[in-house]
Copies of this chain bind each other. A is one copy, B any other.
Amino acid sequence: MYLTQPLHKSLRESPGATATVFGERRRTWAGFVSRVARLAAALQAQGMQAGDRVGILALNSDRYLEFFYGVVWAGGVINPVNIRWSPAEIAYSLDDCDTRILLVDATFREHIPAVRQQSRSLRTVIDLDGGDGDGALDYEALIAAADAAQDAMRGGDDLAGVFYTGGTTGKPKGVMLSHANIYSGALGTLAAGHRPDRAVALHAAPMFHIGGTGLTVQVSARLGTHVVIPQFDPVSVLQAIEAEQVQETFLVPTMIGRVLDDPAFRQHDTSTLRIMLYGAAPIDSSLLERATTAFPAAEFIQLYGMTELSPVATLLPGWCHTSEGRKAGKLHSAGRPISTAELRVVDPSGDDVPVGEVGEIAVRGPTVMQGYWGKPEQTAEALRDGWMHTGDGGRMDEDGFLFVVDRLKDMIVTGGENVYSAEVEDAVLQYPDVVACAVIGVPDEDFGERVHAVVVLRDGAELDQDALFRHCSALIGRFKCPRSLEVRDELPLSAAGKLLKYKLREPHWQGRERRV
């Protein structure tokens, strides 16, 4: 398996079809592949050898796709940098895997001097938007001057990317994924869904995230069209769907909510949308109801996974989002393992827990990462006998559906009882006027930890804690109900849309010991 295969296919099967759309800029597959091959030559001319890492620090664009395929075509390994990071964090990730070439766009150009100062590895900066200062090379000039390189034809277990994860706890770790990891993950995901052939797909979530790579490979494998917006905002999403007759996209539930809430929603034709992939979090019933009404022709598909799994492990199919699926109680599930993922729920000693009981989710199969860059101990801890231990808590029901209850470290231990915050959040979210919610454990003299809710309310609404407690205790055990409450305007999310609970916990735990 080699990630460049779709590019070769496109030259014979659909050279004139549209490969990328970015604003007014459109490129055919023939044009795209030509740029990829010339970018590859330009990178090699800058000293890039087979297996070398090349970084990018940029908003989404068609050039991000050129970067992805150009590096791989040249025989290299991509290192897509988290755009939320500080220069110090960026320098850390570049140095960690010895990334010497970095592509940057106009938005993040200002970080470069500080990154250069702090990084030992960085040598060459290529400016996607044609920088003229700081010794950066001009991306377009490099491509214009280069002759097409031959595809290095790396594949199989050869490394294709190092993806830095975490930042929610400890130092980021570089997840090493091979060609076969990423491509088998894409095929497994496609095989589980009913995805249109040659689909027009919209990249709205950040492309530095593994989800961006996943969608990229899934779209390319079908020789579809990549429509790219620089970053998520509701109006850009709506405009792109209408203008390009987008058939599928990937959003996180918060993004779906913001699209629906936007006054521009009614002014745009979104009837072409067939597939709404979502992930990073389950979708709550009331949002789903609004979303399925708003996109009546779209099949909703939840994906659950993580970078270490390239990234999809389970898929919740469309029918689980219908009233039938909801009656069957599957809507809050993360779905069933896809063909490429073998999934177990294990206890701390690594044995399977009984069906329906909670344990750690572990996954085996061709999508499991090669390891963490330069971290043999953390690799050995995560990968045991080929099983990736995810750190997520979950249970599997008798139909093979996985319910993710929590990151294990998010579990609250109160008065000796385990409380899974996801279950509490479900209950709180059913309370009128609550639009978003995060439940965490905070220090408590009597109980060790106390169940604490952080909520976002509908505009103008007010809430008292007793009322919320009574509401919750009708739905879940009293020991699980929030004992304290905090109202905020919004919850802290990562660029990939993941809730950053550690940011909520920090102020409560300062000076105390907790696995935050």
Contact = CB atoms under 8 A, between A and B. Distances in A.
A221 interface: yes
A14 interface: yes
A391 to B, nearest CB: 19
Interface stretch (A244-252, A288-296, A340-348): A340-348
A214 interface: no
A187 interface: yes
Nearest to A16: B398
A8 interface: yes
Contacts of A5: 339-340, 342, 365
Number of copies: 2
Contacts of A366: 1-2, 155
Interface in A169-192: 180, 184, 187-188, 190-192
Interface string A302-321: 00000000000000010000
Contacts of A13: 336-337, 343, 396, 400
Nearest to A341: B9
A352 B12 contact: yes
A194 B196 CA distance: 9
Contacts of A343: 9, 12-13
A197 interface: yes
A339 B194 contact: no
A6 interface: yes
B187 A9 contact: no
A14 B397 CA distance: 10
Contacts of A194: 194
Contacts of A2: 366
B396 A12 contact: yes
Contacts of A336: 13, 197
A22 B468 CA distance: 57
A475 B341 CA distance: 52
A399 interface: yes
A262 to B, nearest CB: 32
A222 interface: yes
Contacts of A187: 184, 187-188, 190-191, 339-340
A8 B366 CA distance: 14
Interface in A1-34: 1-2, 5-6, 8-9, 12-14, 16
Contacts of A8: 342, 364
Interface string A343-367: 1100000001000000000001110
A5 B387 CA distance: 13
A104 B188 CA distance: 35
B396 A342 contact: no
A340 B8 CA distance: 11
B14 A339 contact: no
A340 to B, nearest CB: 7
Nearest to A189: B191
Nearest to A153: B386
Nearest to A217: B339
A248 to B, nearest CB: 14
A429 to B, nearest CB: 29
Contacts of A184: 1, 184, 187
A344 B197 CA distance: 20
Given A5-B365, A184-B184, A339-B221, A344 B190 contact: no
A190 B396 contact: no
A197 B1 contact: no
A337 B366 CA distance: 23
A447 B85 CA distance: 77
Given A8-B364, A191-B195, 18 more contacts: A5-B342, A8-B342, A9-B337, A9-B343, A12-B344, A12-B396, A12-B400, A13-B336, A13-B337, A13-B396, A16-B398, A184-B184, A184-B187, A187-B190, A187-B339, A190-B339, A191-B222, A197-B336
Interface of A: 1-2, 5-6, 8-9, 12-14, 16, 155-156, 180, 184, 187-188, 190-192, 194-195, 197, 221-223, 317, 336-337, 339-344, 352, 364-366, 396, 398-400
7 contacts: A12-B396, A13-B337, A13-B343, A187-B191, A190-B191, A197-B317, A197-B336
